[in-house]
Amino acid sequence: MAQQLQVELVAVEEKIWSGDAEMVVARTTEGELGVLPGHAPLLGQLAEPGQVRIKLPGGEQLTYEVTGGFLSVTSSGVTVLAESATPATESAAH
């Protein structure tokens, strides 16, 4: 079984999503960042407007539009703390 990340996506008012993921991709002020299990600890400021993509085991992907906030990577997982987070609308290209 592949390693997984414990991920929490939290907005100021509520927890938006929590669970296991294979990868998290977020746009920070330093550029787009992909986080896999075993990533070095870091703290990044989310770019505005931004998007966080969470790749789930099995290939499904969750995408959220986020404003403000931070991405924290620790040995125990990834936390995205955003001012607001809403599910992104799927493009019609599917």
Q: What is the SS3 assignment for 50? A: strand
Mean per-residue pLDDT for 61-69? 96
Task: Please indicate whether residue 13 or residue 83 has the higher confidence score (pLDDT).
Answer: 83
CA distance 52 to 42: 16
Is residue 84 within 8 A of residue 68, CB to CB? The reply is yes
Q: What is the pLDDT of residue 13?
A: 85
Considering the segment(s) 5-87 as one domain, its CATH architecture is Sandwich (2.60)
| pLDDT tens digits for range 13-28 | 899 999 999 999 999 9
Is residue 71 within 8 A of residue 26, CB to CB? The reply is yes
> With a threshold of 0.95, does the pTM exceed it?
no
Q: What is the SS3 assignment for 44? A: strand
| pLDDT tens digits for range 30-49 | 999 999 999 999 999 999 98
Q: What is the pLDDT of residue 6?
A: 96
